[in-house]
Structure 1
Amino acid sequence: MRGAGLVAGGGPFEVVRGESGALEYVNAPRTLVDFVEATWAHGDRPFLVAEEVVWSYREFFAAATALARRFTEEYGLAPGERAAVLMRNRPEWQVAFWAAQFAGLVAVPLNAWWTEGELAYVLDDCTPAVLLVEGERWQTVRGWARRHGARAVVFDGDAEEGVERYEDFPAPDPYGAPPAVEVRPEDDATIIYTSGTTGRPKGAVATQLAQAGAAVHPRFHAAVAALARGQVPGTGPAPVALMTYPFFHVAAFTHLYAVMAAGGTVVLMPKWDADTAVRLIDRHRITHWSGVPATALQLLDAAERAGNPLATLTQLSTGGAAPPPALTARLGERYGARVEPRTGYGLTETSGGVLAHFGDAYRADPAAAGIPAPAVEVRTDEHGELLLRGQSLIRGYWRDEAATAAAFTPDGWFRTGDLAVMGDDGRIAVVDRIKDIVVRGGENVYCAEVEGVLHDHPAVADAAVVGVPHPVLGEEVAAVVRLRPGAALTGGALREHAAARLAAYKVPAHVVFGDVPRGATGKIAKRELRESAGVVRLGVRSG
Structure 2
Amino acid sequence: MSEAAETAAPEVPSEPIMSVADAHALMTSPGTPFAMEETEVRGLKMRVWKEAKQNLRELFSVVKDHGDQEFVVYEDDRMTYAEFHKAAIALSHILKDKYGVQKGDRVAIAMRNYPEWPIAFFAGAIIGAVMVPLNSWWTGEELEYGLEDSGTSIVFVDEERAFSITPFAKRLGIKSVIAARASKLPDTDATVERFEEVLCPHADYAKLPEQDMPDVALDPEDDATIMYTSGTTGRPKGALGTQRNICGNVVGLGIAPVRQLLRYGQPLPDPENMPKRSMLLSVPLFHATGLHAILCGNLTSGNKLVMMFKWDPTRALELIEREKINSFGGVPAMVWQVVEHPDFDKYDTSSVVSVGYGGAPAAPELVQKIKTLFPASSAANGYGLTETSAASSQNAGFEYQAKPESCGPVLPVCDAKVVDENGNELPTGSVGELWIYGPNVVKGYWNKPEATAESFTDGWLHTGDLARIDEEGFIYILDRAKDMLIRGGENVYCVEVEDALYSHADVMDAAVIGIPHKVLGEEVGAVVQVTPGSSVTEGDLQTYVRQHLAAFKVPVKIELRTEPLPRNANGKILKRQLREEWGLV
Does TM, normalized by the shorter one, top 0.5? yes
User: Which residue pairs with 2:424 in the alignment?
Assistant: none
The question of 1:420 aligning with 2:464 is answered: no
Q: 1:89 to 1:537 in 2, by over 3 A?
A: closer
Structure 2 CA distance for partners of 1:268 and 1:197, relative to 1, 3 Å: farther
Per-residue CA deviation, residues 484-530 of structure 1 (Å, 9 max, x unaligned), is: 9xxxxxxxxxxxxxxxxxxxxxxxxxxxxxxxxxx9xxx99799479
SS at match of 1:224: helix
1:46 is aligned to 2:70: yes
- Contact 2:515–2:584 (Cα < 8 Å) also in 1: no
Aligned partner of 2:318 in structure 1 is 279
| 2:221 pairs with 1:164 | no
Q: Which amino acid aligns with 2:354?
A: Q
What residue in structure 1 maps to residue 238 of structure 2?
Answer: 203
Distance 1:530 1:430, change over 3 A: farther
2:211 matched residue in structure 1: 176
Unpaired runs of 5+ in structure 2?
A: 1-19, 422-431, 495-512, 520-545, 561-574
Kept after mapping to 2: 8 A contact 1:222/1:233: no
Matching residue of 2:377: 339
Amino acid at match of 1:341: A
Query: How far did residue 532 of structure 1 move?
Result: 5.5
Higher RCO, 1 or 2 (CA under 8 Å, sep at least 6)? Answer: 2
Deviation of 1:150 after TM superposition, in Å, equals 1.3
1:68-467 map, 5 Å: 68-152=92-176, 153-157=178-182, 158=184, 162-168=191-197, 169-170=199-200, 173-196=208-231, 199-225=234-260, 227=262, 229-234=266-271, 235-253=273-291, 254-302=293-341, 305-308=344-347, 310-336=349-375, 338-383=376-421, 384-409=432-457, 411-435=458-482
Over the aligned positions, Cα root-mean-square deviation in angstroms equals: 3.1
Deviation at 1:309, TM superposition (A): 5.3
Amino acid in structure 1 at the alignment position of 2:480: R
> Structure 1: which amino acid aligns with 2:363?
P
Check whether the contact 1:58–1:174 (CA below 8 A) recurs between aligned residues.
Answer: no
Per mean C-alpha deviation after superposition, the further-off stretch among 526-535 and 160-169 is 526-535
Check whether the contact 2:129–2:224 (CA below 8 A) recurs between aligned residues: yes
The answer for the alignment partner of 1:5 in structure 2 is 26
- Contact 1:188–1:206 (CA under 8 A) maintained in structure 2: yes
Residues 189-212 of structure 1, C-alpha deviations (whole Å, 9 max, x = no match): 000000347721000000111111
In structure 2, distance between residues paired with 1:537 and 1:257: 41
1:541 deviates by 9.8
Following superposition, the deviation at residue 381 of structure 1 comes to 1.5
Amino acid at match of 1:23: R
Q: CA deviation at 1:5?
A: 2.8
**Counterpart Cα distance in 2 of 1:532 and 1:237:** 54
Q: Secondary structure at the match of 1:147?
A: coil
Query: Which has the higher mean CA deviation after the structures are superposed, 206-215 or 292-301?
Result: 206-215
SS in 2 for 1:375: coil
TM-score by length of 1: 0.80
What is the rounded CA distance, in whole Å, between the counterparts of 2:400 and 2:269 in structure 1? 20
Distance 1:422 1:481 in 2: 25
Q: Aligned partners of 2:235, 2:557: CA distance in 1, in Å?
A: 18
Look up the SS of the partner of 2:79 in the other structure. Answer: strand
Gaps of 5+ in 1: 438-446, 452-463, 467-477, 485-518
| CA positional deviation for 1:531 | 5.7
Distance 2:312 2:194 in 1: 30
2:39 pairs, out of 1, 7, 18, with: 18
Give the letter for the 1:334 counterpart.
L
What is the DSSP-based 3-state SS (H/G/I as helix, E as strand, rest coil) of the residue aligned with 1:21? Answer: strand
SS in 2 for 1:129: strand
**1:134–1:421 Cα change, 3 Å:** same
Q: Secondary structure in 2 aligned to 1:435?
A: coil
- Out of 76-85 and 150-159, give the one that drifted further: 150-159
Letter in 1 for 2:103: P
- 1:194 and 1:201 map into 2 onto residues whose CA distance is 5
Q: Separation in 1 of the partners of 2:555 and 2:470? A: 34
Following superposition, the deviation at residue 373 of structure 1 comes to: 1.7
Amino acid at match of 2:241: A
Is the 8 Å Cα contact of residues 303 and 310 (structure 1) preserved in structure 2?
Answer: no
Could you report, residue by residue, the CA deviation over 1:88-136 in whole angstroms, capped at 9, with x for unpaired residues? Answer: 0011000000111111100000110111111111111011111111223
Tell me, what secondary structure is at the counterpart of 2:340? helix
Match of 2:510 in 1: none
The equivalent residue for 1:441 is none
For each residue in 1:379-402, what CA deviation from the matched residue of structure 2 results, as whole angstroms up to 9, or x when unmatched? Answer: 121352111111111101000100
2:257–2:396 Cα contact (<8 Å) kept = no
TM-score (ref. length: structure 2) = 0.74
